[in-house]
Structure 1
Amino acid sequence: MTPSISDSAPVDNASLRAAVEAFATTPEQSTYLDVVRGCLQGRLLLDSTGSDRPTVEADGSYSFPAGATLQFAGGTGPDGRPALFAFTSQQQINRMHPDDLSDVQALVQPAAGALQLASTERYGWLYIDPAGPTCAISNRDAAFALRGDRNDAVKQALEIADPAASKAAVLDALAENGPLLLAVDTDSVPASGVSDGTPVRIRDSVDPDGNPVLLAFTSGPEVSARNVADSFATRPAAEIIHDAIQAPYGGLVINPGGPWMALSAEELRVVLHRIAGATPG
């Protein structure tokens, strides 16, 4: 893991903290999945109190000299396996050290980086804000969240609060032709996993006017947030957009579990034109 603090803005992952609080209030599958998918965006802190101090460079980045000790706070999960602690803000770390704040150290990491570390054999669990309210993510679920392709650019664009700015950012991100996921009815997939020529059932929906729209997702956890039993298939954005403007569809809805966005056929054609213009040859 290569830590970085080149972005000096304080970490305050309020959206993930809200998801954790919602899970603690109502601990069920849907609120748990909201926490897992929230861990694919933003930043978290790891408590490195007791580690050797890093060397800080002029640009704000830092590194540890050879032989330096680097340790992260953790505990034990419900099954006795080691747990890694991660925090949504510095205040959450400080709650773990109420009597000696002067020695507290923290490393900034992408939230997905904390998931990645928790998915290794070293850990069995990832606890978010262990001082409470908290949520424990299992090693297996951390690995699932990271499995397959993700489109973090589209997901980040969906998180923008201003609707007009969010739509513009989503369209720009889609024009990069990164991966998107389709939700697949698992019951339509052959048990062998090998196609027998029968089409699988792709999940769709209807817009407020009752017109069919295709559904697309930015990650596996986003698919699970809508229907935990569904499988998923990954395609380039251009292929999914092309299907979304073919009959019977008249548009695309991305991440229906929220934050979500509906795009019209006209908007999608513009994106396809941009992708085609950027493709060599």
Structure 2
Amino acid sequence: MALFSRRPKKPAASSPESSGEGFDAAADELTAAENASDAEAADTERDAAPSVSISVSSYGGLGAAPGAARPAESEAPAAQAAPTRLPRLGGREWMRTAPTQTETVPGLRDNVLLRDALGRVGDAPASQALLDVARQLLQGHVFLRVKGDARTLLAEGKPLPLGVANLGERTFALAYSSGAALQASLKADGDSDTSAMGQPVLTVLQHVFASGYDGIVLDPASTPSRAVLPTELLKRAVDQADPELTIKTLLAAERTPEVAGQVADALTRVPLWVAAGVAEGGAPGLAEGRTADGERFLEVYSHPLEVAVMGRGDNAVPITAAQLARALGSDDAINGVVVDPAGPWIRLTRAELAPVLALAE
């Protein structure tokens, strides 16, 4: 549990209301639906595209079938020790940097953060796992399966018939985090007349919205490591996201010496949030992390989902770069900020935050 600083004399944000309100409620509602039934839906087709059956329970947000085995702890990626007091998911500390890039199928670069979040689905409380998947979806790319040859169809200007899953009257587009997940689907349905294409995640989501799909199914043949995200949740997530996903992209990339400066620059111009809650003793304040030697770092977030997944019940409060600069200026004992502490995260000192602090002048 992170510690809280006392509320500064001047509020750090203009409104006490949470712009991220509703993510926790949505996750809880989907989780409740997961327990409603485990009846399998009929497997149908649309536009001759590959389709899979999904259960009512998987529409609850998570793909673990009732009684499905949890992933073995030994299969999980090794955790890196975090210097701040960060929460744990499934008994493992959040990671500082993104895992090493992999290609489980040669030529197809896996989205390792999304793949690993899906791998934790059976390893954490259902609502928290759903939020974890949704936040890690907001970076990088996903793979799509297309009926026929995608390059030929694109060259001819024809629409791409995506793989879909049908549940009653609901239709979900299929997307994949890795080459291995694609292979699992091909093995499950045996449809070899398909091709794969990787696309930026926001491009895929905008296509899902424009096409009237009810959401997406991620890694459908990878039970329990699959998830179903409804359009309502995805639209809310996209509406509150930086259109360029600047910080998420920087933190997911290789951690070069230039990244700290790039993140500090991004903090001056992208949407930001802080986590507002109640500390021990009932005093309101903003969440902060502390190192073992007592250094204090204000928690700053790139998206309300990053606050919700912490599981502390905090409110995600929007904050401008100038307000952040004034908040840091109001308390010299704060050593800097930790950005997206749920991971991958980065810690920036006051010296590294010079572009932000300059906005207070």
1:111 to 197, 201, 204: 201
Residues 1:48 and 2:146 are matched in the alignment = yes
Residues 1:264 and 2:356 are matched in the alignment = no
2:324 to 240, 245, 262: 240
Structure 2 partner of 1:28: 126
Distance 2:324 2:348 in 1: 12
Superposition pairs for residues 46-125 of structure 1, below 5 Å?
46-50=144-148, 54=152, 64-65=156-157, 68-77=158-167, 81-98=170-187, 99=190, 101=192, 103-119=193-209, 122-125=212-215
2:288 to 160, 184, 205: 205
Cα distance, 1:272 vs. partner? 3.8
Aligned partners of 1:213 and 1:250 also within 8 Å: yes
Instruction: Note the aligned Cα RMSD (angstroms).
Output: 3.2
The unaligned stretches of length 5 or more in structure 1 are: 1-8, 56-61, 188-199
Structure 2 partner of 1:17: 115
Percent identity, aligned pairs only? 25
Superposition pairs for residues 214-225 of structure 1, below 5 Å?
214-225=298-309
Whose relative contact order is higher, 1 or 2, with alpha carbons under 8 Å and at least 6 apart? 2
1:236 partner amino acid: T
Aligned partners of 2:139 and 2:252 also within 8 Å: no
Instruction: For residues 18-51 of structure 1, give each alpha carbon's deviation from its aligned partner in whole angstroms, at most 9, with x where no partner exists.
Output: 1101114445222221111110001111111147
Superposition pairs for residues 91-170 of structure 1, below 5 Å?
91-98=180-187, 99=190, 101=192, 103-119=193-209, 122-132=212-222, 133-150=225-242, 152-162=245-255, 164-170=257-263
Q: Give the structure-2-normalised TM-score.
A: 0.58
1:36 partner amino acid: A
1:43 partner amino acid: H
Residues 1:180 and 2:272 are matched in the alignment = yes
Cα distance, 1:201 vs. partner? 5.0
Distance 1:52 1:168 in 2: 39
Q: Secondary structure at the match of 1:48?
A: strand
Structure 1 partner of 2:310: 226
Cα distance, 1:72 vs. partner? 0.9
Cα distance, 1:162 vs. partner? 3.2
Q: Is the alpha carbon distance of 1:271 and 1:69 closer, same or farther for their aligned partners in structure 2, counting shifts above 3 Å?
A: closer
Q: Is the alpha carbon distance of 1:221 and 1:162 closer, same or farther for their aligned partners in structure 2, counting shifts above 3 Å?
A: same
Aligned partners of 1:213 and 1:244 also within 8 Å: no
1:135 partner amino acid: A
Q: Is the alpha carbon distance of 1:42 and 1:84 closer, same or farther for their aligned partners in structure 2, counting shifts above 3 Å?
A: same
After superposing on structure 2, the runs of 4+ consecutive aligned residues of structure 1 that deviate more than 6 Å are none
